[in-house]
Each structure stands twice: as C-alpha cells, then as structure tokens.
Amino acid sequence: MPFQNPLPTPQYCQLTFPTPHILLVTLSRPRDLNCINTAGHQELHSIWEWLDDEPELRVGVLTGSGRAFCAGADLKEWNNQAQSSSAKRTMPAGGFGGLSRRSGKKPIICAINGLCLGGGCEMIVNADLVIAAPEAFFGFPEVQRGVVAIAGALPRVVRTIGRQRAMEMVLTGRRVMAAEAKEWGFVNEVVAEGAQVVPRALEVAEQIAANSPDAVIVSREGVKLGWEGVGAEDATRLLAEGWSKRLNEGENIKEGLRAFVEKRKPQWKPSKL
C-alpha cells in the first residue's frame, strides 16, 4: 500500500497491514513479556501519530507476541535509571506506549493475547475497545514494587469500573481474569476458548473501517468529551460547535446520504478532518 508519509521502522514492535485501512502493531519483546522501555514509548507515540496522519488508515490494533500483551515498564531499565542521579525517565505526551494519555483522532483496539500488567493496563484503560483471550489477566502490581501507575490510568479506570473495583485493583495489585474483567466492563469482549483474539479484533476493526471515516472521528470525539468529564450539554455544544460544520462540508456525509438513496454501498474518501 502506498503511504503519504514515510513508514515508521520501529525496533521493538512490528507493523503489518491486514487490510488496506487497518494498522496492526505487535509488541515484539516476548522474552521480556513485551515490557516497554524508554525507546519503545517514543516509537509507539510516533506510530500512533503516523496512524492519525495517514489518510488511508482508519483503525489501529495493538497486540503482543508470545504469552504477554504487555507486562508494563522495563523495570531493569527503570532500576538502572533510579540508581543514577543524572538519568531521568521520559514519557511521550501520549503516555505509556504513547497510548495511556493519548487523545488522538483514530480509534485503537487492544487485542489482549495474554498477561496485561502495570503499564499494559494503563494503555488499555485509554484504548477505544479491548478484546481479550480467555486466558488473559489484568493487574496493577505497581504498589508491590513501591511505584505508582502514574501514566494516566488511575483517574480513568475509576470511570470505567467504579471506585470500589478500581481501589481493589490498584491497592491490592491482585490479578483479574478476563471473564471477571468483562463483568466489570474493563474489556468489551472475551473470545471463545480456542479462538484467536487478533482475528476477532481485526473483524471489529473492519466493521469500524467500513463506516464513514469522518463520522467515526467525530463520534469518537463526542464520547471522549464525556469521558474527560465534560457535562452532557456542554459536550453536545462543544461537539456541534467544533465539528458539525467540518463534517457537513466534507465529502463523506454527502456520499453516505447519496448511497442510502441510491441503495448502494458507500465509497468513502480519506478523511480530511
């Protein structure tokens, strides 16, 4: 597929394109349970920015290689930095993995293939959808190591699963299995026993990519406004004032309505939003 912008060449993850409109990012440090080091954070932040800027891409999917989605931070690197008076840990504006504090434009689905701990959980709390394998489990074990999940998850997870469940996860550090996580609303879906989580995540990504890219971007913005704590009426006003004119002047709304009248499948254009 020809891209408008140079293709990233990351060291710690792999990029593939299962369909013309979907980017699949696979964390590729399986021997280290896909923990993310300083360079890996910067790589992922740049990848998500590239996704947003690339006209033909509409959805991102993030997964891990081996038995882990992501075990969190690279604690060996962190320990070395902690023992040094000069070294400082740096985190991109998008947070852990470029995702835990990302605002962004296009949706990202996390496909949880195995253990998801610490920073791995921080990423999925701010992902748009989360699909898990039955054997996956989740946890914030930071308190057991004397550190804190400070990359964005703490004020966000309470909005997803409620105060008591959030407190249980972050104060005890206990692991939550996929089935329980789904009951809590921590994940959208757990695939059937024996099924592969990435193909299912790609199916959902294709459902999103089949829709108007403009409408997906603006609909996501509307949900984000509520997620970030704006009241319903203020969020509605901000969405209308900030996005309605741009949406209505775009090609895709005209194409979608025309295709409905003509009883055919829409032919979407790359979003200019």
Select from 215, 206, 221 the least CA-distant residue to 269.
215
Could you report the per-residue pLDDT of 90-102, keeping only the tens digit for each?
789 999 999 999 9
Residue 225 in this model has a pLDDT that exceeds 70? yes
Contacts 24+ apart (CB under 8 A), 214-217: 214/247, 214/250, 214/252, 214/253, 214/271, 214/272, 214/273, 215/247, 215/252, 215/253, 215/256, 216/58, 216/106, 216/107, 217/105, 217/106, 217/271, 217/273
Query: Which one is predicted more confidently, 75 or 255?
Result: 255
**What does the domain layout of the chain look like in residue ranges?**
13-209, 213-262
Cα separation, 270 vs 273, whole angstroms: 9
- Is residue 77 part of the annotated active site? The answer reads no
- Is residue 122 part of the annotated active site? The answer reads yes
Residue 6 has which token pair? Answer: 């140079």
- Predicted confidence band at 123 (pLDDT cuts at 50, 70, 90)? very high
Q: Catalytic one among 43, 122, 228, 251?
A: 122
User: What mean pLDDT is reported for the chain?
Assistant: 91
Residue 76 has which token pair? Answer: 């060996």
Q: Catalytic one among 49, 54, 142, 189?
A: 142
Could you report the per-residue pLDDT of 41-66, keeping only the tens digit for each?
999 999 999 999 999 999 999 999 99
pLDDT value of residue 85: 58
Could you report the per-residue pLDDT of 158-216, keeping only the tens digit for each?
999 999 999 999 999 999 999 999 999 999 999 999 889 999 999 999 999 999 999 99
- The CATH number assigned to the domain with range 13-209 reads 3.90.226.10
